[in-house]
Structure 1
Amino acid sequence: MHIDSGLRTLYRGSWIKGFLMFSVLCAMGLVTGQLERYSADVLLTWFLIGPATSATLRHSAHALIPLIITGSGYAQRAVIVGAGPTGDAIATRMGASRREGKQLLGFFDDRHAERLASPRLRLLGRIADLADYVRQQGVDVIYIALPMTTQPRIVRLLDDLRDTTVSVYFVPDLFVTDLIQARVDHVGGMPVVAVCETPFTGLNGVLKQSFDFLMAACILILIAPLMLVIAAAVKCSSPGPALFRQYRYGLDGERILVYKFRSMTVCENGETIAQARQNDARVTPLGAFLRKTSLDELPQFINVLQGRMSIVGPRPHAVAHNEMYRKLIKGYMIRHKVKPGITGWAQVNGCRGETETLEKMKQRVDFDLEYLRRWSLALDLRIILRTVRLIRKDPNAY
């Protein structure tokens, strides 16, 4: 049976969320010692049937709502003022989302057709003609997609529309720029637009922190014996402490102390730090194994319990590297809008190891910023699963 890509994505997302909830329930049972009280049959039945049922119902709603809107004649007639990039962007999104229930009639703009953002845009007239067109054609919704620099023209347009019942929305042109977690909020009833914000506000912040705490606590309980063995091996294999401590930038650019098992003969934590490279003479034989298998990162779960780090997030860099790259890469410090992670979106996409060129670091930062834009618990779980698979065959781990 053929299933389109949208439905496959919906089912995959439902299974990921179901597995995430199943993992959280098991983790809570382990932490509280009540796991044996859970009914294995109930949990298994829910895990197998719940996500499939949820995905099927959601897909049915996605498919039926546009048909209901179209069949009932409720589709709203819409026009867009401004045929520039912002107007083109909202028209594209309107056409891609059938659930919006909007019928786009065309555009109003004072420019000639050959100067529009796209030749496919249907020009209905000049902006001065809009009010008459609204009255004659029964337009329901207007989207003003003019640059914010044209405020006088926007004010005149709103005055012309005061004797109509049309709904008017203003689409700021800043929304076509590269924004981080853009959304509309309110301050004392006044709307404000977020252009660069952390995804972990409100309920998202509670979910992220709860997930980190529960997972870190369970993992530390399970790996405590292994950590003791590794600490003893590091201590006995070469001179120096078992744990390596280094200051790095955490949430909002504040310095945090990050723990790792020592894998080198040195413990650099100054203003000049050389990155680890392939066949680095500073790496001990045991340290090479620990770095290859990522076992040197295990003490960072303690950082997670302390609230300094997250399980998934942008990897923290040494303070010396931060001070260098923040001057060279635009938007570098935005990655510190969230807590640093033990693993991250950049690492599971091949950006691990030495960044010997500026372009490699820029690529890593681009993935970090993409993570901020796309964050969800399902994405975190996906990154964790991909990290586990990469541990055995990551060529950049050295």
Structure 2
Amino acid sequence: MSTDQWVGNDVSQGHARLEGILRFERLSHGFALCETLAVSLVAVATADLYWSYALEWHPDRSVTMAVGAALGLGVAGLSLLRGSYERAIEPGPGFLWSGLVTTLRIFTALLAVLFVTRFDEGYSRGTFFSQFVMSGLVVLTLRSVFQRLLRERLAKGRVERQRLMIVGDAQLDPQLQARLSARGCHVVARLSLADTARADEAETLRAIVNTCRESGVERVLVHTSAELGDLVDRLLHDLSETPVTVEVLPHRNSPLWRAKGDGLAGLPAAVVRNRPLSRLQLLLKRVFDFAVALGALIFLAPLLLAIAAAIRLDSKGPVFFRQTRHGYGNQPIRVFKFRSMRVMEDGAAFRQATRNDPRITRVGAVLRRTNLDELPQILNVLFGEMSIVGPRPHPIALNETFAKEIKLFHRRHNIRPGITGWAQINGHRGETDTLKKMADRIEHDLWYVDHWSFLLDLKIILMTAFSRAAYRNAG
């Protein structure tokens, strides 16, 4: 099977099958909202009924509403944090049981708060117990209905949890295919490495990596065998430059193939590479980025207007400059910047700015020294193309120059690019006129990808604002 035939047929057919299919994340987030509202309303209604009929008095309703809202948000929030909504796809009562356990934990936390604040004197034990029972029943009912409807849609192939590529075995037995479909996994591409000629190996590996990037593949299952050892090693190396989870499966003739596994669809697979950030971490980072970018856009509006006016008065040309750069998964994005030069080079015509570059305007020199030329990228953050913190996006021409010289260069794109980053606060910014300068920057970018945390992002933001190193080599 040729590489062109595989990419042309399997991938296009996979896209056709995915049209009109709902993403599981949207369904689970929608259900989380429903569960929040249901638990909150039931908790408030139960307290009202208990106080009205059992105690014949009613305290301040603002208290019951606050407690109800806290219970609803607590149950849904903890479920999202622990990934318990993912269990709705799995067979068995695990999804229902996780709902009861989560409800118990939230009510235990409420009991601790009531005890510490001594508010338990005005909050009867009967109210607490009745709220717990009714909330538990509501959670069980909602989850039972959601799981039944979800399984019906899964059986019809209308829910997508993950986009999957299988490499190493083009033939997928019906039983395994059914198990994957039942878990919302859509196979968008397959390729048998055993049919790959030695002369076509490099082209095949490039096609696999490109398909991962272009088709939004989230997980790759790699079948191994003794004959494919070296080729599989090279494939795993190349896949490390894509933001996918890679699982290695034993060969069908191996005794391990029949073993019960904890991997996808119960396969005895070993995860050799995870995505840099989990879906929950991506969600938290995105929420933080959006909130900070929106607040910054409002707070910095006067400064942005003043810079725009200064640019127009200083030189002819537009206020903003948009340049094509590599973003998440090597996908091209159009990055906003305040224009700091008399030219607007892009694509193959791009040429790096140098110290005392005659193309830089007077206002542009100030903007570049103070990093203010990067402020319009707040818009890229709002649009979801960039993050507040991450590897700085490079012009595509610059990437193509160094990618062949620096190992794992494109792995820096396994996370969204940022306005500021770990490399920048350590002084690795500005002109990269030597291989060593770029290699040092990439080393710091890859360290950030491997060690990301929310606290690290906060540290980088603070150092960008107050550290001298963040402004070293600017200009």
The 1-side partners of 2:378 and 2:387 are apart by: 8
The 2-side partners of 1:393 and 1:344 are apart by: 9
- In the other structure, the counterpart of 1:311 is 388
* CA displacement, residues 27-67 of structure 1 (integer Å, 9 cap, x when unaligned): xxxxxxxxxxxxxxxxxxxxxxxxxxxxxxxxxxxxxxxxx
The 2-side partners of 1:193 and 1:292 are apart by: 48
- In the other structure, the counterpart of 2:374 is 297
- In the other structure, the counterpart of 2:281 is 204
- Cα offset for 1:196? 4.3
Identity of aligned residues (%): 50
- In the other structure, the counterpart of 1:345 is 422
Within a 5 Å distance, the mapping from 1:374-389 to structure 2 comes to 374-389=451-466
Is 1:287 aligned to residue 364 of structure 2? yes
**Is the CA contact 1:252–1:336 (under 8 Å) kept in the aligned structure 2?**
yes
304 and 393 in structure 1: CA distance in 2 versus 1, 3 angstrom threshold? closer
- Cα offset for 1:191? 4.7
The 2-side partners of 1:381 and 1:363 are apart by: 22
- In the other structure, the counterpart of 2:307 is 230
360 and 393 in structure 1: CA distance in 2 versus 1, 3 angstrom threshold? closer
Calculate the aligned-residue CA RMSD, in Å: 2.8
The 1-side partners of 2:268 and 2:432 are apart by: 42
**Is the CA contact 2:424–2:470 (under 8 Å) kept in the aligned structure 1?**
no
- In the other structure, the counterpart of 2:348 is 271
385 and 194 in structure 1: CA distance in 2 versus 1, 3 angstrom threshold? farther
209 and 220 in structure 1: CA distance in 2 versus 1, 3 angstrom threshold? same
**Is the CA contact 2:371–2:471 (under 8 Å) kept in the aligned structure 1?**
no
**Is the CA contact 2:391–2:420 (under 8 Å) kept in the aligned structure 1?**
yes
**Is the CA contact 1:292–1:391 (under 8 Å) kept in the aligned structure 2?**
no
281 and 194 in structure 1: CA distance in 2 versus 1, 3 angstrom threshold? farther
| Partner SS, residue 271 of structure 1 | helix
- The amino acid across from 1:186 in the alignment is G
Q: Which residue of 364, 379, 382 corresponds with 2:441?
A: 364
| Partner SS, residue 367 of structure 1 | helix
**Is the CA contact 1:197–1:337 (under 8 Å) kept in the aligned structure 2?**
no
- Cα offset for 1:197? 4.2
| Partner SS, residue 474 of structure 2 | coil
The 2-side partners of 1:289 and 1:362 are apart by: 27
The 1-side partners of 2:265 and 2:470 are apart by: 53
308 and 386 in structure 1: CA distance in 2 versus 1, 3 angstrom threshold? same
**Is the CA contact 2:426–2:469 (under 8 Å) kept in the aligned structure 1?**
no
Moved over 6 A (4+): 179-185
Higher helix proportion, which one? 2
The 1-side partners of 2:273 and 2:403 are apart by: 17
Within a 5 Å distance, the mapping from 1:9-24 to structure 2 comes to none
TM-score, L = length of structure 1: 0.53
* CA displacement, residues 269-320 of structure 1 (integer Å, 9 cap, x when unaligned): 1303221111111111110100111111110001000000000000000011
| Partner SS, residue 276 of structure 2 | coil
| Partner SS, residue 188 of structure 1 | helix
- The amino acid across from 1:353 in the alignment is G
- The amino acid across from 1:344 in the alignment is G
The 2-side partners of 1:195 and 1:320 are apart by: 32
393 and 206 in structure 1: CA distance in 2 versus 1, 3 angstrom threshold? closer
- In the other structure, the counterpart of 2:12 is none
- Cα offset for 1:376? 0.4
- The amino acid across from 1:376 in the alignment is S
Greater RCO, CA 8 A, separation 6+: 1
- The amino acid across from 2:440 in the alignment is Q
- The amino acid across from 1:222 in the alignment is F
- In the other structure, the counterpart of 2:323 is 246
- The amino acid across from 1:371 in the alignment is Y
- In the other structure, the counterpart of 2:70 is none
| Partner SS, residue 460 of structure 2 | helix
* CA displacement, residues 133-174 of structure 1 (integer Å, 9 cap, x when unaligned): xxxxxxxxxxxxxxx999xxxxxxxxxxxxxxxxxxxxxxxx
- The amino acid across from 2:425 in the alignment is V
Within a 5 Å distance, the mapping from 1:105-254 to structure 2 comes to 186-254=263-331
- The amino acid across from 2:299 in the alignment is L
Structure 2: gaps of 5 or more residues: 1-223, 227-235, 248-261
The 2-side partners of 1:197 and 1:217 are apart by: 31
The 1-side partners of 2:350 and 2:456 are apart by: 32
The 2-side partners of 1:197 and 1:273 are apart by: 35
- In the other structure, the counterpart of 1:262 is 339
- The amino acid across from 1:314 in the alignment is P
The 2-side partners of 1:328 and 1:340 are apart by: 21
193 and 237 in structure 1: CA distance in 2 versus 1, 3 angstrom threshold? farther
- In the other structure, the counterpart of 1:86 is none
385 and 260 in structure 1: CA distance in 2 versus 1, 3 angstrom threshold? same
* CA displacement, residues 207-232 of structure 1 (integer Å, 9 cap, x when unaligned): 11111111111111100111111111
- The amino acid across from 1:277 in the alignment is T
